[in-house]
Amino acid sequence: MGFKPIIGILTNETVGLNGRQLSYSTGKRYANAVMQFAEAVPVLIPSCINSVDIQTILDFVQGIVLTGGRANIEPHHFNGPPFPENELIDPERDRVALDLIPACVKRGIPIFGICRGIQEINVAYGGSIYYRVHQEPDKNDHRMPQRDDATLEDIFAPRHDILFTENSILRDLVKSDRFTVNSLHGQGIKDLGKDLDIEAWSEDGLIEAISINTHPSFGIGIQWHAEFYPERPENLLNQALFSAFGRACRDYAKN
């Protein structure tokens, strides 16, 4: 058996047992995609660690996945208008993600940001976020189906096309100018952060994928959920992204 890199998957704070117990967790599909398509060993990173411990973790991992999550980044991180009082937040996840990103880039550790993860990369580089994309006059509704009987298949079905930029890394992965992706996010990138390049747009002009142009290896964020059904032929791009991420993690380990 060949060498397998270790990839850290950032978790979210969640509440269980009728609200009586907090935990740090993430979706099983992130770990599965890392194992199957990045050909790596996943480890979960609790979003309560301090800045010193982040450096300790980065001493032994060869890649980081910034997962999606129900809570949104608090707007004080990008000078946005305050959230309503009932908005779900995860301050520890905000802090750890925004510390992890520059630390990874400095070391050259590959980063793959998914949904919330692309927004964290943007904010880490000084960008801003739309509070609700569907409330913007020139944007479509990118949220999951808003009906109670929506199945998992409905929620994660391919929903709209993304258009690759001329020199997009993603274009090279699938040898195409566009691809159809799922869509279940309320927020999205407003102003692009410094040192970031746009890799793909949605047809309404929302940024769907970015790369960190100062990253010496793999630093990519995407707005859709690539961890869902990457094994299906219609999701070739998702599989290709995890595979490219895994290759970058192995190269980082060798170097």
Domains in the chain: boundaries: 6-254
**What is the model's pLDDT at position 21?**
65
Active site (annotated) includes residue 115: yes
pLDDT tens-digit map of 227-250: 999 999 999 999 999 999 999 999
**What is the model's pLDDT at position 14?**
86
Per DSSP bridges, beta strands 219-222 and 207-212 are antiparallel
**What is the model's pLDDT at position 20?**
60
Active site (annotated) includes residue 225: yes
Beta bridge partners of 111: 64, 219
Over the range 58-71, which residues count as b (16 or more CB within 10 Å of their CB) and which as e?
A: beebbbbbbbbbeb
User: Residue 81 is encoded by which pair of tokens?
Assistant: 């208008």
CB atoms near residue 218 (< 10 Å): 23
Active-site residue identified among 199, 215, 227, 249:
227
CA distance 3 to 228: 25
pLDDT tens-digit map of 84-110: 999 999 999 999 999 999 999 999 999
**What is the model's pLDDT at position 12?**
95
**What is the model's pLDDT at position 255?**
87
Select from 1.10.300.10, 3.90.1150.10, 2.102.10.10, 3.40.50.880 the CATH code of 6-254. Answer: 3.40.50.880
pTM of the model: 0.96
Tell me if 253 sits within 8 A of 56, measured CB to CB: no
pLDDT means per 10 residues, the chain with 255 residues, are: 91 75 90 98 95 95 97 97 94 97 98 98 98 96 93 94 97 96 97 98 98 97 97 96 98 94
User: Residue 228 is encoded by which pair of tokens?
Assistant: 């869902």
Active-site residue identified among 115, 120, 185, 199:
115
Active site (annotated) includes residue 227: yes
212 backbone dihedrals φ, ψ, rounded to 5°: -90, 110
CA separation, residue 72 to residues 33, 186, 215 (Å): 23, 9, 25
